[in-house]
Amino acid sequence: MMRVNVEEKLFQNRYKVDAGRPHIQIRDPDVCRSQCQAQQCTTCCPAGCYTAEGNGAVTLITDGCLECGTCRVICTEFRNVDWEYPRGGFGILFKFG
């Protein structure tokens, strides 16, 4: 049986950063810190863009985002994610192989 290494596959993608203009933002970091118990974005993002800092805070760095939309859908209780596609020319460039 052939095994697929996800990290190797992700490494084949390329990402063009739109410096200073993240296409996804956390609306209110205090909601993540003080109200969201599960912080599910930190475990569900396949690109690891969300990080639980250990002090309750959650940080988001969109570099490498796969534009899958999971974080927008999964933040159901607080709807605390502002989500847009990157501007044209920026963001993920998928490579398969």
Q: Quick one: which of 46, 63, 94, 95 contacts ligand SF4 (CB under 6 A)? A: 46
Q: Contact between 24 and ligand SF4 (CB under 6 A)?
A: yes
Among 10, 17, 57, 66, indicate the residue that binds ligand SF4 (CB under 6 A).
Answer: 66
CB of 5 to ligand SF4, least distance (A): 18
Distant-in-sequence, close-in-space partners of 58: CB < 8 Å, separation ≥ 6: 26, 29, 32, 33, 36, 39, 41, 42, 50, 51, 52
H runs (alpha helix) in the chain: 6-11, 29-34, 41-44, 70-74
Task: Give the three-state DSSP class for 58.
Answer: strand
Positions in the binding site for ligand SF4 (CB under 6 A):
24, 26, 31-32, 36, 39-41, 45-47, 49, 58, 62, 65-71, 75, 78, 80-81
